[in-house]
Amino acid sequence: MRITRIYEPQALTSGATIALAEQNAAHLCKVLRLQEGAPLQVFDGHGHEFKAILVKSGKNAAIALQEEIINTRESPLVTILGQVISRGDKMDFTIQKAVELGIHAIYPLSSARCGVKLDVKRMERKLDAWQKIAAGACEQCGRAVVPTVHPLMDLANFCSYAQDAFELRLTLDPTASVRLRDLNVSGSICLLIGPEGGFAPEETTLATEHAFTGVSLGPRILRTETAALTALSILGSHFGDL
């Protein structure tokens, strides 16, 4: 029998009894209809995971934490995704699958050809939704560390930040002669993915000036969400744990 696994963002300690967040209580008791005594696994998003038992059902559901589980599902390859926001549910899909592939952090970006324009409040709601998607992906794939979806940055600020923060900086260029599998990887990798219309020429120059290396995924032009996930898969296969 598959054991239900939930993300509970609070301090977890073996032997403690904790009240569940309202959303988790509703999901376990109303949707899944779990009864008291049902076994669970719960993680805090920071790497700690425990076996647990549902000891109180209903609106004020509570669980008793048992022994800690050693979770070894984090990739040894530190990858960071700088993704220009894509339209519709493409960004949701990219975030979900990037988490499943082992991404460590995601930076939504704006650029000259970005087709998504949101005001402050709508962007805040988007960020909250994206963070929940990341947490849900962790519940599904078995990770105990929830990657952070950072606040929106413009491309120039991100390039400046990335130059100091990450050892290897990559952007996709169909004309490049370098393939991902040819790289010498020894530290964190920042992957910069452009919008559906591609980067403007001055943005490509900006990335080059901040020491981003252009790499090719082959002769075909990929959609923005396909490009990100293909690159992460190749990196994980050659240098990580895929």
53 assigned to some structural domain: yes
190 assigned to some structural domain: yes
87 assigned to some structural domain: yes
The enclosing H or E element of 19 equals strand 17-19
74 assigned to some structural domain: no
Question: What does the DSSP 8-state code read for residue 179?
Answer: B
The pLDDT score that the predictor gives to residue 2 is: 83
Name the domain boundary from 45, 69, 93: 69
Do 91 and 205 share a domain, yes or no? yes
The pLDDT score that the predictor gives to residue 92 is: 96
Q: How many angstroms separate the CA atoms of 57 and 39, rounded? A: 13
The pLDDT score that the predictor gives to residue 1 is: 67
211 assigned to some structural domain: yes
Name the domain boundary from 44, 69, 94: 69
Do 208 and 230 share a domain, yes or no? yes
Do 149 and 222 share a domain, yes or no? yes
The pLDDT score that the predictor gives to residue 116 is: 84
Domain containing residue 49: CATH number: 2.40.240.20
17 assigned to some structural domain: yes
Do 132 and 217 share a domain, yes or no? yes
State how many domains the chain has.
Answer: 2
Do 23 and 83 share a domain, yes or no? no
**pTM over cut 0.85:** yes
Do 212 and 148 share a domain, yes or no? yes
Do 17 and 121 share a domain, yes or no? no
The pLDDT score that the predictor gives to residue 118 is: 83
Question: What does the DSSP 8-state code read for residue 182?
Answer: G
Domain containing residue 112: CATH number: 3.40.1280.10
The pLDDT score that the predictor gives to residue 221 is: 87
160 assigned to some structural domain: yes
The SS3 of residue 216 is strand
Do 123 and 197 share a domain, yes or no? yes
Do 19 and 116 share a domain, yes or no? no
Per-position DSSP letters for 21-86, written without gaps between them: PHHHHHIIIIIS---TT-EEEEE-BBS-EEEEEEEE-STT-EEEEEEEE----S-SS-EEEEEE--
Q: Which domain holds residue 235?
A: 79-239
Do 226 and 156 share a domain, yes or no? yes
Do 65 and 83 share a domain, yes or no? no
Per-residue pLDDT of the chain (242 residues; tens, 9 = 90+): 689 999 999 999 999 999 999 999 999 999 999 999 999 999 999 999 999 999 999 999 999 999 999 999 999 999 999 999 998 899 999 999 999 999 999 999 999 888 788 888 999 999 999 999 999 999 999 999 999 999 999 999 999 999 999 999 999 988 899 899 889 888 899 999 999 888 999 999 999 999 999 999 988 889 999 999 999 999 999 999 99
120 assigned to some structural domain: yes
Name the domain boundary from 69, 87, 104: 69
Q: Which of 47, 150, 162, 158 is nearest to 110 (CA)?
A: 158
Do 109 and 222 share a domain, yes or no? yes
